[in-house]
Amino acid sequence: MKSLLVQKFGGSSVADAECMRRVANRIRQDKDDGNDIVVVVSAMGKTTDRLIALAREVHADPDDREYDQLLATGEQISISILAMALHHLGVEAVSMTGPQAGIRTDGSHTRAKITGIDPVRVRENLDRGRVVIVAGFQGLNPIADVATLGRGGSDLTAVAMAAALKADRCQIFTDVDGVYTADPRVVPSARKLEVIAFDEMLELASLGAKVLQSRSVEFAKKHGVELEVLTSFERKPGTLVKEASDMEDVLVRGVAADKNQAKVTLRGVKDTPGVAAHLFKAVAEAGVNVDVIVQNISEEGETDISFTVPRDDLNDVRKCLQSIENVEFREDLYDDTIAKVTLVGVGMRSHTGVASSMFEALAERNINIQMISTSEIRVSVVIDEESANIACQALHTAFGLDQAPDS
Amino acid sequence: MKSLLVQKFGGSSVADAECMRRVANRIRQDKDDGNDIVVVVSAMGKTTDRLIALAREVHADPDDREYDQLLATGEQISISILAMALHHLGVEAVSMTGPQAGIRTDGSHTRAKITGIDPVRVRENLDRGRVVIVAGFQGLNPIADVATLGRGGSDLTAVAMAAALKADRCQIFTDVDGVYTADPRVVPSARKLEVIAFDEMLELASLGAKVLQSRSVEFAKKHGVELEVLTSFERKPGTLVKEASDMEDVLVRGVAADKNQAKVTLRGVKDTPGVAAHLFKAVAEAGVNVDVIVQNISEEGETDISFTVPRDDLNDVRKCLQSIENVEFREDLYDDTIAKVTLVGVGMRSHTGVASSMFEALAERNINIQMISTSEIRVSVVIDEESANIACQALHTAFGLDQAPDS
């Protein structure tokens, strides 16, 4: 069946000429199968880092517009080299910068949002049987300047281009072959998932699973773009990311551990109105993202508040709390030996008892739960870091993830 | 006096961050003097070579459009880095790619011609007091692709931009401080010229004086753009290139030797109609540029034809003549030990006797003249290569070039 595919290859997939040839060969195979193909590429390997280093040599804090003008060249090099590599294989191909591909953005340089895509030239060239290679990470802003999309921008370019072209699928090529039920290095029985729901993928992305950035998954969900995460090293199916309504609900899709968190506890906080607001405003102003928050009920006008933050930010939080005004407390405690373990599954929406089963499984292993946080499709617990791997293995088994669903 | 200056800096002037800072400092000084400034830059140092090498790794003969897409990034890097370097000095500056600067070209990739410039954004930014930095060597072709201008393209960008903006002067910064009456390494008494006429500069450019490319000088002459050739290393006047009508005529402006020529002689050529046409068509088809041609009068249906070609092309010419059809000759001789020595001066238009004085001066040194070629403002002789330096020195003295005109 002839499909329109948007394929995205990241910087490590196109690191040098040899990689370019391999990617070109992969594209040729899919083209030979009768598919129409749009390719989105990032800058080659360390190109962006080199450009940033060059900029820093002349200015410690370069102007955002000029920064974008500079960085956009990285992808422009990739697209033309990949076009040449495809030509070498006898495949008709044409490269397009973000602006040429009709990608429009808002005016915020270095973290622009895509405001629309008008892929006239892309369609014209597809109609002429060509592979169209689009520079990721960039577009044209309202005053005709190049703007870059920021972190994960090339994934976003691919997803947005797929939406604009109503492509059959957007394939994100990475160095892993898909999304797993758990980290295979921790849980040997972890299995590659054939499918995962957008919402599940979003929960995993926020957990730090680096496969796909939240922005791209959200965009794909909003525009109904079917995503596939797959490896560029082998030709085999990856993991499909799609609407939950199109797939069988499972109670738990996967289990993940985030060991990059630290816990802050304030004991004996004077429980006056607005104290939590003061506290978390101060932490936010220190540039720190708070994840799980737990506040116990107040006793004798005092309460305990615990929250988790990225481990690297722990010192910033400590400084912030030492000088905080409007918040009185007896003691501040810091623990950077914790982990957050999370179960994800859209089936939880219509099932109860996942949390209690989870606590039971952990209790059986004598794992103490320090904090609990839940959403519609997720249960997270904060536990001792040393127990994280055992917890993942126990939960993987307890929720039947060791076997494939149909086995 | 406030002027609008277009300043062009070549690849060696912007080779690295250190060079960029020096160029930025130079621009700042001219800006502080109250001038409006548009800067045209080439790619940094070896950037273009590196991009070409990368392309060759994936394709022996890359597609022209993709080649341009690739090479255009070199100048795009330069403009943004130079903008940042100016910002660092507190100078307001903005970079523009060729397309952003409104440079339109025809459709011939890798050697496009500028068809027009619509410098709306350049003017807007000048009006806001900014230094505008334009990528040399590139423009937007009729189907909205980037096209490059080929060799000397950045000079041409600068001259065309100066014409479009009606700039007061186009300054071409090089590693020499101006145009000389002769090569100072050969003629110690050579002087830097304050002015030189467009036509004189054109004759010198075709002689291989690498200071300015013919295309740029022709464009400047046609559009009345005053050029200045000067060094980026020191802040001092260079050589002005302008209309002869605006300057005092001198009989001889300078003397130059071209040692990169070789002489081909065909003896006993059967003198039938069209024989010269056949001969030079065959040489042209071999991709060789013929310079001086001399044909003696025919005797008994036979003639001798001599011509000069670039020395590197001598073998191609030899091969070409060995297989030539329609041209019969007795003997072919090749001499790669010749030099062409040329006197240039717009004053020759209205004076006679330059050629005879030249021959006299050479005769006094016992230098034998092998071929003679003249134009309205030039006399060239082909002589033995060994005599070239002595010839230049003798002519420099004989035509009064050792002293400044007003001394």
pLDDT per 10-residue tile (average), chain A, 407 residues: 92 94 97 97 94 96 96 97 98 97 95 95 97 97 94 93 97 91 92 93 76 88 95 91 81 91 93 86 89 82 91 93 90 94 89 88 93 89 95 95 75
* Count of pairs with CB atoms under 8 A, one residue in A, one in B: 103
Question: Phi and psi at residue B304, in whole multiples of 5°?
Answer: -110, 135
The β-bridge partners of A39 are A7, A133
Strands in B138-140's sheet, in edge-to-edge order, are B114-117, B103-105, B138-140, B146-148
Burial of A397 (0-12, 13-18, 19+ CB in 10 A): middle
The answer for residues whose C-beta is within 8 angstroms of residue A41's C-beta and 6 or more apart is A8, A9, A14, A23, A75, A78, A79, A82, A133, A134, A135, A136, A154
Helix (H, G, I), strand (E, B) or coil at B30: helix
**Which of A17, A54, A88 is the closest to B17 by Cβ?**
A54
Give the minimum alpha-carbon distance from B156 to chain A in angstroms, rounded to a whole number.
23
Closest CA to B158 of B193, B124, B210, B119: B119
Give the minimum alpha-carbon distance from A76 to chain B in angstroms, rounded to a whole number.
7
Check residue B406 and give its pLDDT: 57
Q: Verify whether the Cβ–Cβ distance A80 to B66 is below 8 Å.
A: yes
Check residue A336 and give its pLDDT: 95
B120 contact A CB<8A: no
Chain A: residue whose CA lies nearest to B92:
A63
Cα B39 from Cα A145, distance rounded (Å):
19
CATH number of A4-174: 3.40.1160.10
Q: Verify whether the Cβ–Cβ distance A59 to B88 is below 8 Å.
A: yes
Tokens encoding A186: 């921790």
**Which of A62, A76, A81 is the closest to B58 by Cβ?**
A81
Check residue B407 and give its pLDDT: 44
Closest CA to A256 of A202, A312, A201, A204: A204
Q: Verify whether the Cβ–Cβ distance A77 to B81 is below 8 Å.
A: no
Give the minimum alpha-carbon distance from A57 to chain B in angstroms, rounded to a whole number.
6
Check residue A172 and give its pLDDT: 96
ipTM over 0.90? The verdict is no
- CA A245 distance to own-chain centroid: 22
Check residue A406 and give its pLDDT: 57
A14 contact B CB<8A: no
Looking at beta carbons, which residues of chain A come within 8 Å of B25? none
DSSP 8-state secondary structure symbol assigned to residue A312: G
Give the minimum alpha-carbon distance from B68 to chain A in angstroms, rounded to a whole number.
9
Q: Verify whether the Cβ–Cβ distance B59 to A144 is below 8 Å.
A: no
Check residue B151 and give its pLDDT: 80
B65 contact A CB<8A: yes
Check residue B33 and give its pLDDT: 95
Positions in chain B whose pLDDT score sits under 50 = 407
Give the minimum alpha-carbon distance from A142 to chain B in angstroms, rounded to a whole number.
13
Sketch the domain layout of chain A as residue ranges.
Answer: 4-174
Q: Verify whether the Cβ–Cβ distance B80 to A67 is below 8 Å.
A: yes
Q: Verify whether the Cβ–Cβ distance B81 to A70 is below 8 Å.
A: yes
